[in-house]
Structure 1
Amino acid sequence: MTRLLVLLAVLLAAGAGRPASALTYGLTPVRIAEDTWVFVGGTDHFTRANGGNILNPGFIVTGDGVVVIQTGPSRRFGEEMRAAIRKVTAEPIRIVYVGNLHPDYFLGAQAFPDVPVAALPGTIDGIRNEGAAIAGNMYRLVGDWMRGTEPVTPSHAVRGSTVVIGTHRLRLIERHGHTAADLAILDETTGVLFAGGLVFSDRTPTTPHADIPAWLASLDALAGLEFTTLVPNHGRIRSGADAHAAIAETRDWLTWLDGTLRAAAAEGRDMAEMLDHPIPERFHRMNVLRAEYQRSVAHLWPAIERETLPRIR
């Protein structure tokens, strides 16, 4: 009985993990261009180990205030992000841009109650309608990291336009495909493209809100831009020719995924069979490959099957 009690105590201690007060993301901004910093996240799934820190949010010090791009997955993240920005500059934060309705883009917005939080109208509608459910799911996935986090709907709607803040000219690019509304931002002053959820780098794309044909069209639009550095939502930041390569790699994956599932549905194969379908070797360097592929099958198969199979009249 004594050994059993000791074992139970060890298991409980292991399950408890670190106390909430000890949790810290340890955010350190990386300078990627003039006046421009990024908090580089991981490429895994949301877990209790990483606290949801898998995104690349950034900020630009313009000379007339700071522009923040994405707010992270939790209130704690947003607060640490804001504190880290303060160590870089004394300029006030001028505006926060949220790229889409996925949790790591907007759930840190509570840390910016005194600042306009801007997003595309479709993102605002999505957060208003799904924000509570998205936050609840993050609580289940990462636990104590989320304490005190509540969804905040962006207060300012923006559309595709060009804005000048301080010495920086920012082109707001309105697209969709990864979600119903995807905001990318091109800093024409430095040539840095914050691609938002449209581009993944060395990480398998996620598809819970995806429209693949629209996504491919958005990638083509980004590929036609002139830029020198690309900040993807997840994964390695790319520069030079390699920056355009990231767009091509995301496009290659989506094209293969959509074509493979449509061909299989036309052949009468079922979803369970497709979960273990072979994945070409050229994609094997992407992180969380099989798991994200299987999630995408679950997300996309029902609609593809309905579109592909003949109707019985």
Structure 2
Amino acid sequence: MFHLVLAACLVASPDTCAPRLLPAGDAAQQQQCEQRAGPIARDWLARHPDLTGGAISCVPTADLPALSVQEIADDVYLHQGTIAQISPQNQGRIANLAFVVGDSVAVIDAGGTRAEGEALYAAIRRVTDAPISHVVLTHMHPDHILGAEVFSEAGATVTANARLPEAVAQRTAAWMVSIPRQIGAGAFAGSRITGVDQPVSQPITISLGRTELQLTPVGPAHTDNDLTVLDTESGTLFTGDLLFRGLTPSLDGSLSGWLDWLSAPPQPTPALIVPGHGPASATWDQASAPTIQYLTQLRDTTRRAIRGGMALSQAIPAITQMMKPYSEGWADFNATTARNAATAYSQLEWE
């Protein structure tokens, strides 16, 4: 297969350029790709007015930059993100991304930039030419969703918790400014929010032919728009950021709701559990214990601060300090815990 690659530069910074993969140009033969390249590139640029176009090429699959992926179960592939907060060094590629291959392909989380989504698309095409029917977003955070446009352009249905669009809309303007500053304008070039085609407000099943995905929206927990995905054939459960391993959990939803969800092991028992960050686990206890311990201590130390009469400004550093004995193994502990302390305080002060 050959793929259309467009050299694109920022209108606001013409020296900042990056290659953009346009899935609409995919073709079995190089000549077919080249014949269609011009109109496809012009149409894509018209929808991305912040970019100007340069050279066009048609590149074989093997020559595309691709994310590293591991087959963690039959026809289930995982790219494990860097365990860190986003930075120029990791280009925002910190989330776990996955795909399940049946008669069609479902992508589970799409990456933190257009470029990462393209690299995941290339990794899929190295495995299979099957159509990509769905891209499932487990929650609103940008490291999981900003690559989704690539798969939408490839014909995939964008599927997410029904509450996700509103949550994203409230934050998009800030993200479009803050993320390029954090990872670099070149790494972010071409990234934008994609709309949700299939909002999920109750459990549904998606058929991929020889396997099915069971999608379950979760009440406010890590966020107010979490969604789990179970591949029925392999028994692999994708939790998104309802589970963390290695990177400190971030609270953007309900602390009590999150702990309630964690207190009930999933049924049926999964064969493999993939968190939003960190390695997959073979058992629920192994997968959930670090997050449960962290959030339980966050709840208990926050309660102690509130009962001690601390104001919020005093409580945040005090809670962070009291949490220090539980910091081992958590990246970005201090900064994330300080933010979590503020959120937990606001939720628990009127218990």
Q: TM-score range by the shorter chain?
A: 0.7 to 0.9
**Counterpart in 2 of 1:104?**
143
**Counterpart in 2 of 1:253?**
294
Match status 1:132 vs 2:166: no
**Distance between the aligned counterparts of 1:43 and 1:108, measured in 2?**
19
**Distance between the aligned counterparts of 1:219 and 1:117, measured in 2?**
27
The answer to whether the Cα contact below 8 Å between 2:222 and 2:242 also exists between their aligned partners in 1 is yes
Change (3 A) 1:226 1:51: same
Match status 1:41 vs 2:84: no
**Distance between the aligned counterparts of 1:300 and 1:216, measured in 2?**
12
Match status 1:173 vs 2:212: no
Counterpart among 255, 262, 274 of residue 231 in structure 1? 274
Counterpart among 102, 110, 113 of residue 74 in structure 1? 113
Alignment of structure 1 residues 197-208 onto 2, 5 Å:
197-207=241-251
**Distance between the aligned counterparts of 1:237 and 1:86, measured in 2?**
23
**Counterpart in 2 of 1:54?**
94
**Distance between the aligned counterparts of 2:17 and 2:332, measured in 1?**
27
- Give 1:275 deviation, angstroms: 5.4
Deviations 1:249-286 (A, max 9, x none): 21121111011111111111222541552335454122
Match status 1:92 vs 2:140: no
**Counterpart in 2 of 1:297?**
341
Aligned length: 286
**Distance between the aligned counterparts of 2:122 and 2:317, measured in 1?**
49
The answer to whether the Cα contact below 8 Å between 2:66 and 2:121 also exists between their aligned partners in 1 is no
Report sequence identity in percent: 29
Match status 1:148 vs 2:187: no
Runs of 5+ unmatched residues, structure 1:
1-17, 309-313
**Distance between the aligned counterparts of 1:278 and 1:65, measured in 2?**
49
**Counterpart in 2 of 1:193?**
237
Deviations 1:158-216 (A, max 9, x none): 23123332111221111131000100111121011101110001221011x22011111
**Distance between the aligned counterparts of 1:233 and 1:123, measured in 2?**
16
By percentage of residues, which structure has more strand? Answer: 2
Q: Secondary structure at the match of 2:248?
A: coil
Counterpart among 208, 211, 221 of residue 254 in structure 2? 211
The answer to whether the Cα contact below 8 Å between 2:301 and 2:319 also exists between their aligned partners in 1 is no
By percentage of residues, which structure has more helix? Answer: 1
- Give 1:299 deviation, angstroms: 3.1
The answer to whether the Cα contact below 8 Å between 2:298 and 2:344 also exists between their aligned partners in 1 is no
Deviations 1:208-239 (A, max 9, x none): x2201111122234445411111100011112
Deviations 1:120-162 (A, max 9, x none): 1101221233233233321221122111111112121123123
**Counterpart in 2 of 1:9?**
none
TM normalised by structure 2 equals 0.76
**Counterpart in 2 of 1:29?**
69
RMSD of the TM alignment (CA)? 2.3
TM normalised by structure 1 equals 0.84
Counterpart among 154, 157, 167 of residue 199 in structure 2? 157
**Distance between the aligned counterparts of 2:130 and 2:267, measured in 1?**
33
The answer to whether the Cα contact below 8 Å between 1:238 and 1:246 also exists between their aligned partners in 2 is yes
Bigger drift between 269-278 and 176-185 goes to 269-278
**Distance between the aligned counterparts of 1:206 and 1:284, measured in 2?**
16
The answer to whether the Cα contact below 8 Å between 2:76 and 2:98 also exists between their aligned partners in 1 is yes
Q: Secondary structure at the match of 1:216?
A: helix
The answer to whether the Cα contact below 8 Å between 2:240 and 2:276 also exists between their aligned partners in 1 is yes
